[in-house]
Amino acid sequence: MSVDDLSNTEHPPVAGAAAPQPTGSATTGLRGNLGVASLIATVIAFNGPLAMLAGFVPIVISTGNGLSAPLTYLVLGVVVLVFSVGLNAMASRMTHPGAFYTYITAGLGRPAGLAAGFLALLTYLALGAGTYALFAIMAEHLLTDTFAAAGPPWWVWALLAWAACTALSMFNIELSAKVLGVFMLCEMAIVLVWDACVLADGGPEGRSVDIFSDFFSGSFALAMVFGALCLTGFESLQVFRSETRDAARAVPRATYLSVTMLAGLYALGAFCYIISYGPSQAVAAGAEDPTGSVLSSIRIYVFSAAGDIANVLLLTSTFAACLAIQNISARYFFTLGGDGVLPARIGRANTKHGSPMIAAAIAGALMLLGFGIAALFGYSVVETFTVLTGLGGFWLIALWVGTSVAVVRFFHTRRTESTRAWQVLIAPVLAACALGAILVLSAIHLEEIVASATVANLSLVFLAVLLIGGMALGLWYRTNRPDTYRRIGKQAETADS
């Protein structure tokens, strides 16, 4: 299936529906002129490919399913692409952005949508706060490894990144897109140069790697969970529809291209990592020092200074991820404010910049609270990063599953001649089954993901309470505050409604 074929999964506008705004939305007040390239830059920056390559790929190899790690990324890439088919088909029926909250509301009803909205907020806030801790890790690593100098407490580095990202997120999205684009090009360049050098050299044991024999061996569940975390960010494009020119074409194309690029990048990166150390030594190298082993390989196969350059780009890669996540979080707050679930001021765009300025400020403040509390209670930067990003990743997979189910029900209750079984039934069902299996595996192995049995158990209880509580609140609104209830997910109104 080609990218062009996939991009045709968007439904044509229903007769009588308003034509899409080329540079923003008069309804939401958000303005922007994002194209496919800018959207792809946002996804890749959210993902932080160099940081993922140095942090997650060696772990998938060393503690996951070993030499089959490249195959793991390819399989997960296919799963995510299938999920994206239903996601984009449903997005074409929405008149406003909102992603998980909007789609689950439209497919499963207001109570479920309200619960999903709260979960989405917490998911991106946790991922954002955890990524600021990751920035601090990279800053400390750069200072000690490259300059052999000691630095301030970790929270100082996190605070500096937070201040810069919060300021950028309060202005027009195109400013952030330019910053993300520059960082993305730099880190992609050094990763691809390293790939080429390793493949040209052939490594100590040659280029032959059996990527099939170990697929279900080792910790298969951990490999799938950590691999899935490397492919996040594609779903975020739906919240930028009002700030994208020709969103009906640009968003699905950017989604499929970004997922394909990321899956291919990590599959190739894992393959080259194995070659660079040799199949017999790669697992041990990844277990001993994940990040250091990648930087060492870059120094050996490219040139010595390239390792120092990569060390710097690890920092900028993480900064770009912080900025992308903060932009997404702001738009979730903006959507919930526009629907009346949160105070209406949060859902108002800044008239000068066409940005969700108030929502961005609130998202930034809560992320600061997240890593600030950890620092105040004396948690190390590694503990802070592990817990926050682990929980955020687990919750994100839960939202993927809920969205897949919502897509199936949404189109089942709105059968029209313009829908295709592959888009509205087969692909979403396949995605729900595959992602549901990953969710179960991540729940079973959550202690490994967050490195704490207590946190894992409490988080599962918290997730259940949040979902049940959110749905109960929605039902309470229906009985006691019908006006508020009707506003829940109002931005999920479809083009044919």
Q: Which of 2-6, 117-121, 460-464 has the lowest mean pLDDT?
A: 2-6
391 or 146, higher pLDDT: 391
DSSP state of 443: H
Asked whether 382 and 137 are in contact (CB, 8 A), the reply is: yes
Quote the pLDDT of residue 33: 66
Torsion, CA 98, CA 103, CA 108, CA 109, rounded to 10? 40
pLDDT at 113 over 90: yes
| Residue whose structure tokens are 């209750």 | 413
pLDDT at 491 over 60: no
Q: Give 167-181 as a DSSP string.
A: HHHTS-HHHHHHHHH
How many CA atoms are closer than 13 Å to the CA of 115, on its beta-carbon side?
Answer: 24
Q: What is the pLDDT of residues 362-388, one digit of tens each?
A: 999 999 999 999 999 999 998 898 889
Instruction: List all residues 6 or more positions away from 487 whose beta carbon is below 8 Å from its beta carbon.
Output: 339, 340, 341
- Alpha-carbon gap, residue 31 to 74, rounded angstroms: 36
Q: What is the pLDDT of residues 33-80, one digit of tens each?
A: 677 887 887 788 777 788 889 878 998 999 888 999 999 999 999 999
CATH class of 28-395+441-489: mainly alpha
Asked whether 73 and 374 are in contact (CB, 8 A), the reply is: no
Q: What is the mean pLDDT of residues 356-363?
A: 89
Asked whether 141 and 55 are in contact (CB, 8 A), the reply is: no
Strand, helix or coil at 471? helix
Inter-CA distances, 489 with 109, 111, 410, Å: 9, 10, 14
| Residue whose structure tokens are 């029900």 | 409
Which sign does the torsion angle of CA 104, 109, 110, 111 carry? negative
Q: Which two tokens stand for residue 98?
A: 């909102």
Instruction: List all residues 6 or more positions away from 429 whose beta carbon is below 8 Å from its beta carbon.
Output: 404, 408
Please give the mean pLDDT across all residues of the chain.
83
pLDDT at 21 over 60: no
Strand, helix or coil at 153? coil
Residues in the chain: 497
Quote the pLDDT of residue 368: 96
Asked whether 101 and 335 are in contact (CB, 8 A), the reply is: yes
What's CA 250's distance to the chain center, in Å? 18
Asked whether 184 and 320 are in contact (CB, 8 A), the reply is: yes
Amino acid, single-letter form, for residue 90: M
- Global confidence as pTM: 0.83
Strand, helix or coil at 494? strand
User: Percent of the chain, pLDDT > 90?
Assistant: 40
Q: How many CB atoms lie within 10 A of CB 132?
A: 33
pLDDT at 245 over 70: yes
User: Which residue intervals of 170-289 are DSSP H helices?
Assistant: 173-201, 220-229, 247-277, 282-288
Q: Which of 77-91, 385-399, 406-420 has the lowest mean pLDDT?
A: 406-420
Measure the CA angle with vertex 380, ends 377 and 384; round to 5°.
85
Q: What is the mean pLDDT of residues 313-342?
A: 84
Q: How many CB atoms lie within 10 A of CB 216?
A: 9
Q: Which two tokens stand for residue 172?
A: 């027009």
Quote the pLDDT of residue 488: 85
Inter-CA distances, 125 with 69, 391, 414, 455, Å: 29, 11, 34, 17
How many CA atoms are closer than 13 Å to the CA of 463, on its beta-carbon side?
Answer: 20
